[in-house]
Structure 1
């Protein structure tokens, strides 16, 4: 595939081994992404998909199952020839970490398949499994030698780990320790699908490829930053998982902190994985660690009650299947954070995320300091509109700049206007899952968009005081909000007391 005169690198031949091949993640995202890469000619010339099943299953049955999922979840029209070519290389192999000897058989079958398919011994292991299976699978792969690389890294062996990476600081450290005893950091790809979105990656280009933005990207010109991830969906059928996790753990240390790190990081000396990831880790480690008392003061947690969103009626969260009736788990979280470095000293970062809200929206809103009002005191102007740079990620992708301009007429009157850039107006991009770039990067060995161990731990370290404070508080301080609303009123008060307010998106 080419973009102008630029040709994308073709990945090395490899075996793509999927644990959790029959699960929801594989069907909804992994296989549609592989199909989209195949249509763009971005898969290796010699390539095979190995689906790991816990019970014996035929390769033919697995192919049929994956084809059915592809037809259901594909983001593009299915070309039967491309789908057939992709799925004909699928092989089912049985393995279960609860039965260690099954991994000895897995190694034997995989090596024979690799020789037959001429993949060069390169392996990409994708853990599309529940988090509690990450370490046991990795340990068994390590035990039988499937993750060991030669000193020159040829052939290469890589492990893709989905979120959540730990449930708190201690568990994240423990998981990192286990994985790093088995393989080197460069082999581990901790994946976060938010970083596969074009607009998220564009934050770096917006900041560092435009001379107009970086000089004002600091405490002298920016008043505060808002990062919002809102969903209209409720918990649905994920009651058991969500009640043990909550909005904070589910979204903040990964999705929201990834956005925060891209917005707040220092300019990297060069655009390579080590340098960019080091700057991201550095800014996450600079987030002020709050006491539990400060964490309670600088946060809001809420839980939705019965309401209606569009044509969908939702019952109380506490009445959701597999949720405890007296649950104090939050479905909404809002935090106020500060970053202790020269660039951001005194600039608050407000983060919020929640389920069952009145709209689906993911955005970063950068609020600039108010211009001096003195020159307008003798004019009809009584207020100035706020200046925002808004990076919209979902449901539409684009960038909006809000500024003041004069209303036509003989007197000085001002109004706030918007200058908009929408991706769809300029680029004819094919519909995608958001995983295509990430999976492609895994295969070519570019880990610039993946979290490093120190970055993961720095994120959990900043979040841990909120986890501890909320656990001790139990139901005390847990707000409620009606499904289909903007969230708990206390979330607005988190900014109001600072003389600020959440940005309201333009209607229509």
Structure 2
């Protein structure tokens, strides 16, 4: 199968850091279709050879094991071309059409790795140039809008020129191997399904923590914040994977139908829950990795009086028969105590204690997403004291480390998703009604914060966020997993 992959934003940060390394890994692994071409699009006046040299230089910043040898890059570079374009000028799309007409590939992928404000412009101009053929697929990066209205406007405009099955709304978390194993854990095994419900689960915690600050993305983050950047997409997609009913099959729409039901079942916000069950924070100066780090308001591109949140913790419920009454806690932030993404399923304690001692909260399943990838099953067991069986229960942990079991050189998130786009598989991409429902649920929080003049609570860099986050979960009689 022949394909052309067009990267709008071909000289941008996402292309350098994520897309080109992922495409090279697919090339190295032999999974990228042989008859392929990758066309970078940008404002710079570059020849094909100059563009290849720029890409080659950028690989110096990739981890050593993923860098190409000279021979490998020479073969990969043969796939690379460059087209100079100003995306606001209709005439420039004719140059792209001419480049694509040279091969008339079986599949054409338009990857729009630009600012969201250009999504509609690019799609409309592609249609005006006759480049929205049945063979064309368009990939839209997040964030897709900044609120419900802007998201709906983008999807409506894109929907006028591309069919829903041609649109791939990417959320790279869905491409992570650990998230794929989450689906396999739930729907490929019968072990946990009878327990995966309100009668047996006390609470569920989703944590996406970063120890880094905003780095050089202060200007972007100022207009985005943690709620838009992480909760509306990544965290809610993880919640859907945990909470959804088994789909009737593995087809894309069967999976996405069940995720949509979860989003529609999320408990609506009230004035009381918005004030008590949503915590926003912003990091102040502190330490990270043993070194002092600046406050968010001191970062480049950030308003010194900024109210942008770098931390969010919230409590919600799924109002259906399976989950009614079970609290779901979501927490995400920057400059926290560590880089850690995990889902913790806390099971209810035994209904009757027959041992002399009982350790609470020991029965739990931890699904590690990053940096560790695997499962931890925490149980209680009897120990031995001087060769005699002790009546005291002790916590034990069973580990399944996916990197050790399957090898650390597994397919990365962007590599997996790019190959899925080329092959036309929509399973790991977000449908427009999913996105709209997620924005509808998040928007009352944004409105509440807009009217709140107090702003976010400050927390020291290198901690787990504001103390109000721990107080929120403590009201239910629980604590975050690291506080056990």
Per the shorter chain, which TM-score range? over 0.9
| Equivalent position of 1:145 in the other structure | 130
Alignment of 1:398-417 (within 5 A): 398-408=374-384, 409-417=388-396
Residues 46 and 505 of structure 1, relative CA distance in 2, 3 Å threshold:
farther
User: How much does 1:22 deviate?
Assistant: 0.7
Distance of 1:458 and 1:383 partners within structure 2:
40
User: How much does 1:27 deviate?
Assistant: 1.0
| Equivalent position of 2:118 in the other structure | 133
| Equivalent position of 1:330 in the other structure | 309
| Equivalent position of 2:369 in the other structure | 393
User: How much does 1:110 deviate?
Assistant: 2.2
After TM superposition, the runs of 4+ consecutive aligned structure 1 residues lying more than 6 A away are none
Distance of 1:220 and 1:210 partners within structure 2:
20
| Equivalent position of 1:31 in the other structure | 20
Partners of 1:160 and 1:190 within 8 A in 2: yes
Distance of 1:505 and 1:192 partners within structure 2:
30
User: How much does 1:269 deviate?
Assistant: 0.6
Partners of 1:25 and 1:128 within 8 A in 2: yes
Distance of 2:403 and 2:74 partners within structure 1:
30
Distance of 2:55 and 2:185 partners within structure 1:
38
Distance of 2:117 and 2:51 partners within structure 1:
24
For residues 283-335 of structure 1, give each alpha carbon's deviation from its aligned partner in whole angstroms, at most 9, with x where no partner exists: 11211221244222211011111011114321121121211111111110001
| Equivalent position of 1:42 in the other structure | 31
| Equivalent position of 2:239 in the other structure | 260
User: How much does 1:272 deviate?
Assistant: 1.1
Distance of 2:474 and 2:184 partners within structure 1:
33
Partners of 2:179 and 2:369 within 8 A in 1: yes
Distance of 1:105 and 1:411 partners within structure 2:
78
For residues 403-443 of structure 1, give each alpha carbon's deviation from its aligned partner in whole angstroms, at most 9, with x where no partner exists: 11112245411111111110122112416542111011001
Partners of 2:382 and 2:389 within 8 A in 1: no
User: How much does 1:186 deviate?
Assistant: 0.5
Aligned partner (choices 84, 87, 93) of residue 103 of structure 1 = 93
Alignment of 1:181-196 (within 5 A): 181-196=160-175
Aligned partner (choices 427, 449, 462) of residue 470 of structure 1 = 449
Normalising by structure 2, report the TM-score. 0.96
Q: SS of the residue aligned with 1:413?
A: strand
Distance of 2:174 and 2:2 partners within structure 1:
25
Report the number of matched residues.
Answer: 480
| Equivalent position of 2:323 in the other structure | 344
Distance of 2:257 and 2:359 partners within structure 1:
42
Q: SS of the residue aligned with 1:136?
A: helix
Q: SS of the residue aligned with 1:44?
A: coil
Aligned partner (choices 69, 81, 84) of residue 94 of structure 1 = 84
**Residue ranges of structure 1 left out of the alignment (5+ in a row):** 1-11, 150-155
Distance of 1:353 and 1:99 partners within structure 2:
40
| Equivalent position of 1:6 in the other structure | none
For residues 86-145 of structure 1, give each alpha carbon's deviation from its aligned partner in whole angstroms, at most 9, with x where no partner exists: 211212112222211111232123212x25xxx33x200111112222111111111111
User: How much does 1:386 deviate?
Assistant: 2.4
Normalising by structure 1, report the TM-score. 0.91
| Equivalent position of 1:51 in the other structure | 40
**Residue ranges of structure 2 left out of the alignment (5+ in a row):** none
Alignment of 1:6-405 (within 5 A): 12-73=1-62, 76-112=66-102, 114-115=103-104, 119-120=105-106, 122-149=107-134, 156-376=135-355, 379=356, 381-405=357-381
Distance of 2:195 and 2:389 partners within structure 1:
33
Distance of 2:2 and 2:475 partners within structure 1:
57
Partners of 2:383 and 2:389 within 8 A in 1: no
Partners of 2:382 and 2:390 within 8 A in 1: no
Q: SS of the residue aligned with 1:294?
A: helix
User: How much does 1:383 deviate?
Assistant: 3.7
Distance of 1:237 and 1:333 partners within structure 2:
21
